Amino acid sequence: MQQQELIPHLFRTEYSKIVAVLCRRFGFEQMETAEDIASETFLTAAQSWRLNGAPKNPTAWLYSVAKNKAKNHLQRNTIFETKVAAEIRNNMSQIDENEIDLSPQNIKDSQLQMMFAICHPALSSETQIGLSLRILCGFGIDEIAEAFLTNKETINKRLYRGREKLRQEKINIEFPGPTEIDQRLENVLTTIYLLFSEGYYSVSQNNTLRKELCFEAMRLCHILIENEHTNKPQVNALLSLMYFHASRFEARIDKNGDLVLYDEQDTSLWNNEMISKGACFLKCATGGEHLSKYHLEAVIAYWNTQKADTPEKWENILQLYNRLLQIEYSPIAALNRTYALSKANGKQQAIIEAEKLNLVTNHFYFALLGELYTDIDNQKALQNFQKALSLAKTETDKRLMSRKIEKLLSVIDP
């Protein structure tokens, strides 16, 4: 790997590990210090490697520099502490270098505990995702800003408030106790899923960035699966679901960056390796007593990887959505359920059900109605697509609706 690629690559993989270990050692009171030391480590690397070339084992090099910087920081702190607060001298005078433990096991533990801390219910989901991207995934502020379609100041403020909240709430970087693990794991899974969705359905036009968000969400889920305490059926179900979705990355965006609808995708671009990984984690998701929404969504996603447009496929998807909606309502699930209904039971019934949904501020709602009325009542289809176009927020969605309208106009008025 060329040196100019090496540092950004290592930053993405190692920054979050160093921050997690240091934060766990220092506590959230000194979170910024942990982040500064990690950043400075990469700065030192950039300067030194430019002059001397990259070392043989760059990761070990980074860890050793980070350790030294952390040690210096702790020593400076000790001097300060011993002068101002002599009574704690005995506790603080012995700084053991081994306390900064960058062993693979400690890195994994620290990252896992950091995940639980950041996904604490005291923080808003927006803040959880922001902090996750920064602290757990090593994303730059400008990248996070681009992903959220906002500016750097907003993100900086959000992260600042998030760090403050972690301190105010006295959230510790630790593994939750056995009584609360399930509840806390639920929060972590929600954040991972939001992170994935942010990438998959992002408003950002930057496709490389979007894919990275998805892969980071999957990486975090892998960390949970690697630990015996968090390797639970619902975690495997979530990872399975993400693999099934991710298998269509190359097919769902065309050369111009436009979204290609499921029906129109070139299925030869679907990634079979990811589909089999999804199936593998779905198998691991069985055996629990509790059927989570991730299980249902993973099986829906599985059916979506089946190319054949059979009645069996749509009947299964419909029944899965029927159950999913009973566990947790969401407008997107309601819309997808109605689409599956049209495929399984016919458009006439689906139109009646769709009209009852009444999601009048949602452009996908009118897009669905447009789709259902096409060939049944093309004038109504047209009106609905036009309404969808007026409500669509992103350029991609607007172009998609314009294409639908053009196609329909050519049929109505050839």
Partner 1 sequence: MDEYALIMRHEDGTKVASPEQLQIWMKQTMDWIGGIAAQNKFVSGTGLPFADARVVGHNNVVTNGPFGEIKETIGGFIVVKADSVDEAVEFAKGCPVLVGDGNTVEVRKIAKRDGVH
Q: What is the residue whose two structure tokens read 């975690």?
A: 235
Rule CB under 8 A: say whether 319 interacts with partner 1: yes
Output the smallest distance, CB 356 to partner 1, in A.
Answer: 6
Given candidates 356, 360, 413, 414, which one binds partner 1 under the rule CB under 8 A? 356
**Residue 252 makes contact with partner 1 by CB under 8 A:** no
Half-sphere exposure of 224 (CA within 13 A, CB side): 29
How far is residue 408's CA from residue 155's CA, in Å, rounded to a whole number?
42
Give the chain's length: 414
Determine, following the binding rule CB under 8 A, whether residue 366 of this chain makes contact with partner 1: no
Which is closer to partner 1, CB of 290 or CB of 356? 356
- Closer residue to partner 1 in complex, CB, 7/369: 369
Tally of CA atoms within 13 A in the half-sphere of 304 that contains its CB? 29
Q: Could you give the CA distance from residue 382 to residue 286 in angstroms, rounded to a whole number?
A: 45
Site membership for partner 1, residue 404 (CB under 8 A): no
Q: Does 361 bind partner 1 (CB under 8 A)?
A: no
Closest CA to 168 of 114, 120, 222, 237: 120
Binding test (CB under 8 A) with partner 1, winner from 337, 363, 387, 404: 337
Among 68, 78, 345, 394, binds partner 1 (CB under 8 A): 345
Task: Round to whole Å and give the CA distance between 174 and 115.
Answer: 10
Angle CA 128–133–136, to nearest 5: 90
38 closest CA partner among 5, 3, 73: 73
- Taking CB under 8 A as the rule, does residue 280 contact partner 1? no
Q: Which is nearer to partner 1, 106 or 362 (CB)?
A: 362
Span from 57-65, 98-106, 247-255, 316-324 in contact with partner 1 (CB under 8 A): 316-324
Cα 45 to Cα 218: distance, rounded to the nearest angstrom: 28
Residues that bind partner 1 (CB under 8 A): 315, 318-319, 321-323, 325-326, 329, 333-334, 337-338, 341, 345, 353, 356-358
